[in-house]
Structure 1
Amino acid sequence: MSVSENALAAVVVGQPMLAVGIAGEETKEPVFVHLKTIDMRRMIEWKELIAPAAPSKPRNRDKSKEEQGETHYDDRLLCSLEKYHEPLWEDLAGKPGWKIIVHHDPQQLGALQSRGSISPEHKDEDGVLSFDISFCFHHAYSDGKGGYIFHGDLQRALNNTARPPELQNHILHLATPPLLPPAMDTLIPFTLSWTFILHTIWIEVLKPLLPKRLFRLEPSEADTPWTGAPIDASNPKTHIRTLFKLDNEAQLRGLLTQCRSHGASLTGLLHALIARSLARQVKDRSFRSTTPIALAQYADANIAGSTFTPGKTIHCLVTGLSPLHDLDAIRRLQGNREEGDMRVGDDAAVWAFAQEMTARLRAKTASLPRDDILALSGLIGDWHEFIRSRFGKARDSTWELSNLGSLNAVDAGKSDPKNVFETKAGPNVEEEGRWFIDRAIFTQGTGVGSAICINVAGVAEHGIYVTISWQDGNVDVDLVEKLVDDLQAWITELVEV
């Protein structure tokens, strides 16, 4: 356990955002506060998750026994992670609003601690001992890209093995207040045009005040995006499932090649496939999608100074694009084919939708940091009231697609072919083996956001893993299961071309 505490403490020492608490979170003016000490035992939670033995007879003929065993393990892992999206963070003034969860097979861990050998049924053919380490965080501390930074730092710290001098008897002593990076509205040089300001005032302030029926401003149901059930603040239960995974790097490269040949990105294609599936289940309704966009690359270097380096410093810097997909666009995705014909490879409407979303995302990123709604966020005087005012009302969008891209080989610890952590008997096991990251899984809650969240993460040369999450009671489970079945079938079709 000391190895994990030493490594985590080293990450905290190097990342100022991880070394603070939050005072007055329930007030209009919460602030980060210096924590002079952090008990590292409170920042790590160990959870047993025994890897199941492969079934003697696969239930699914298309999957091997090993693949079905992995699927069962992943399902249990995601079910375990669901509960971490539900509770509020407690004692934020006394401890940071983040923690790591280490899911482990106790039989493997026992062998590691005793420096004994791992029995064949509890290690893979390469003899690699594995843990699933999850970084859970309050959004004030980090965004998804910050999660990648954290895991890269942790991988390096685990391989370094040195104990920071600030760590004594499980307690990390931080005598000097950390130098935090500037807030987003200071760090990102937002600019606004008068056209954008006036349009936003009309949409957000004036239009809602007008009598909709008198001025014929009330949209029909078909023109109102479908977003599931209204926001329910009383039920935080979250569901998470695997949408699909592509751990065959050659297949992933082939899929990316198809996207490029159609002038689309993988994000654009996934938007199109999600819309196609939902269009066949939710009839005669428009949709709205949301795509988070990282802002770190737009940081003003003169303002950041030494306190912020894009790709190196954990921060929460994210905006988004939320276009409306009108009924005509959705009907084109439905097509006139019979229900049984679900092939997508030659569906021009799918690729047209993917191209349009790709173009919209590229236009948005090219325009930043100009005319972004976050530039006006300072006008909201009470964020708690702003969020509470949405309870019981429709959500902003139908689905959110958050694509973190892939963790690079250096941060994954895979740039050196010798950089592996092998479980070997004997006293020199730590000298002979190293830690590396071979997959990334990204999940998030859906409290007041979109009806459905699709989350994409991956590791260079190890493919991608895509999850789907939704709030209990917000959407019909059958709809989600059909969406999962559709995307798994369509992705399989595309990669087998």
Structure 2
Amino acid sequence: MTDPKSLEKLRPCGRLETHSTVRHDLGLYNNVACAAYYSPPNPVQPAPLEPLIHSALGKVIFSHPILSAIPLNENTSSPYFARLPTIDLRKCVFFVKRKTGFHKGGDDAELDSIIAEQHNQNFKSELGSLPFWRLVVLTNSPPATKNQFAATWIFHHALADGASGLAFHRAFLAALQSLSSTPPPGMSESGAAESAIINTPTTPLLPPLESLHPLPLSIPFLLKAQWTDWFPSRPTTLWTAKPITSDPASRETKFRSNTLSQQATTRLVQVSRENKTSVTATLECLVAAAIFSHLPGAEEGGGVDRVTACGATSLRRFLLKEMVSDESLGCWVSRYGFEHRRTRKGDPFSWAEARKVRQTINKELDKKGKDSTVGLLRWVPDLHKFFLGKMGKERGDSFELSNVGVFKASRMVEGEGCWRVGKVVFSQSGNVVGAGFEVSVVTGGDGCLVLGIAWLEGVVEGSWIEMVIGSLRAGIEELTKA
């Protein structure tokens, strides 16, 4: 095993990256998964799948140096990135044969199980030798269509944000396409890979967020944040699941995806636009309404009339285009918050509220990174102490909703004779010190929107989440019916 101290130091982790490394060190897992279904060109290329994937992944690693970087000194206030000189793909790429047929549409319990399993694994195994990401390839057995597979990229949040999951799959798709007309290198006559050890690039890492953006904070914003920290005010009728706990039994992530048809997805976009709001805002209000439908009202005594949502906002658009683009892998996000209140009468879903959520998101984006939550991280002197101090306390938010948008392939992989990405699934691990559960949203190359719901069993109960998911689906169906 490689001594981590012998690895080349690249740069210190930024404050947002440190936020994730500390959580990982404390066993609060902060990882992200992005899965995509791949279909080969027609006619199907005869190349064996394993060396093909290894070769394509080697191209992606060479183009994105963060994939060969690992955070070290996670147990300190000064973590840093170090470079792995080589990556043995046999130890971080795993091939799993399906027990059921390949899923062209609808939900996929086998893939959900893989995502949940990966969320519950850290990246400390063979520290200094393995990257802080894994790729799990789910293949057909027997293959109904040769070389058709679903690839799940699971990664430490310090390396990349949710939007990076789509960027990774675009790069991987482009690499597969570039190899489709020539045999992958390093393949023996039997089809086995002769070498799966990749020499990593020597290019420097992209800078951290605070080196690309000043993240300015106004005096009123700072004072408000400090006042809230010193004198927290929490309504008794706010639901945020069970309090933060150090109990290891309440740290197992469960995951379930829900897939909308292409028709329902198109209709959801259309009806949201007709009502002058966005899909993200519409879904957030539907989730809040679903929660309310399975909690007692405040008038019943000890009930609930408020839930709070937090959502991710990408700061990429405000960074130097020469440094960061939609194709970059890195962590450049902040967040917004919104409080939902139970309506006394009528439909629990409100288009007026969906418009307010959209206005809140737009207001956050209009600040262009000023007075952002992520900017406050510089004022937290000890993140270890910060997280440990949250144990036993109530959670700040009821649920988190992140929408990374629509997967779009690059122009070089469009048209006949190209590899294609269909359904995409996006997920984040259950949040030990954050919201009660996570809702992750993405629309794949097949035009189908997928909701990924992750929770910690014990923080919320699986049976209750299933009822919320059922009400959420019913709400979507009601809005999208012809």
TM-score by length of 1: 0.78
2:73 to 16, 24, 46: 24
Query: Which residue matches 1:238?
Result: 253
Give the secondary-structure state (helix, strand or coil) at the position aligned to 1:440. Answer: strand
1:3 to 20, 37, 52: 52
Aligned 1:108-187 pairs, distance under 5 A: 108=143, 122-123=144-145, 129-161=147-179, 169-174=195-200, 177-187=202-212
8 Å contact kept, 1:21–1:94: no
Aligned 1:9-408 pairs, distance under 5 A: 9-52=58-101, 74-90=108-124, 91-108=126-143, 122-123=144-145, 129-161=147-179, 169-174=195-200, 177-204=202-229, 206-207=230-231, 219-222=234-237, 225-233=238-246, 234-235=248-249, 236-242=251-257, 244-248=258-262, 250-282=263-295, 283-284=297-298, 285=304, 286-301=306-321, 305=322, 308-325=323-340, 329-332=341-344, 335-336=345-346, 347=347, 350-408=350-408
Give the direction of change, closer, same or farther, for the CA distance of 1:265–1:220 in structure 2 (3 Å limit).
closer
Question: Rg: which structure is higher?
Answer: 1
Q: Does 1:437 align with 2:421?
A: yes
Give the secondary-structure state (helix, strand or coil) at the position aligned to 1:172. Answer: strand
8 Å contact kept, 1:22–1:96: no
8 Å contact kept, 2:440–2:453: yes
2:473 to 473, 480, 488: 488
Give the direction of change, closer, same or farther, for the CA distance of 1:192–1:102 in structure 2 (3 Å limit).
same
Give the secondary-structure state (helix, strand or coil) at the position aligned to 1:355. Answer: helix
Q: CA deviation at 1:377?
A: 0.9
8 Å contact kept, 1:272–1:353: yes
CA distance in 1, matches of 2:349, 2:141: 50
Q: CA deviation at 1:482?
A: 1.6
CA distance in 2, matches of 1:26, 1:159: 41
Q: CA deviation at 1:173?
A: 1.8
Q: Which amino acid aligns with 1:181?
A: L
Which structure has more strand as a fraction of its residues? Answer: 2
Q: Which amino acid aligns with 1:46?
A: F
Q: CA deviation at 1:348?
A: 8.7
CA distance in 1, matches of 2:109, 2:212: 40
CA RMSD of aligned residues (A): 2.4
CA distance in 1, matches of 2:289, 2:82: 47
Q: Which amino acid aligns with 2:343?
A: R
1:468 to 453, 478, 481: 453
Q: CA deviation at 1:87?
A: 2.2
CA distance in 2, matches of 1:495, 1:291: 23
Give the direction of change, closer, same or farther, for the CA distance of 1:385–1:93 in structure 2 (3 Å limit).
farther
Q: CA deviation at 1:71?
A: 5.0
Give the direction of change, closer, same or farther, for the CA distance of 1:395–1:219 in structure 2 (3 Å limit).
closer
Q: CA deviation at 1:309?
A: 2.7
Task: Deviation per CA, 1:136-174: give whole Å up to 9, x if none.
Answer: 000010111001010000011112127589x98221123
Query: Which residue matches 1:56?
Result: none
8 Å contact kept, 2:289–2:349: no
Q: CA deviation at 1:494?
A: 2.1
CA distance in 2, matches of 1:275, 1:348: 9
User: Percent of counterpart pairs with the same letter?
Assistant: 24
Give the direction of change, closer, same or farther, for the CA distance of 1:23–1:42 in structure 2 (3 Å limit).
same
Query: Which residue matches 1:118?
Result: none
8 Å contact kept, 1:21–1:34: yes
Q: CA deviation at 1:201?
A: 1.8
CA distance in 2, matches of 1:297, 1:309: 9
Give the direction of change, closer, same or farther, for the CA distance of 1:349–1:382 in structure 2 (3 Å limit).
same
Task: Deviation per CA, 1:351-387: give whole Å up to 9, x if none.
Answer: 1111111111111111121111211212223222222
Task: Deviation per CA, 1:194-214: give whole Å up to 9, x if none.
Answer: 11121112112x325xxxxxx
CA distance in 2, matches of 1:137, 1:271: 25
CA distance in 2, matches of 1:159, 1:354: 41
Q: CA deviation at 1:188?
A: 2.0
Q: CA deviation at 1:264?
A: 1.1
Q: Which amino acid aligns with 1:311?
A: D
**Which consecutive unaligned segments of at least 5 residues does structure 1 have?**
54-65, 109-121, 209-217, 337-346, 420-433
8 Å contact kept, 2:289–2:348: no
CA distance in 1, matches of 2:425, 2:349: 30
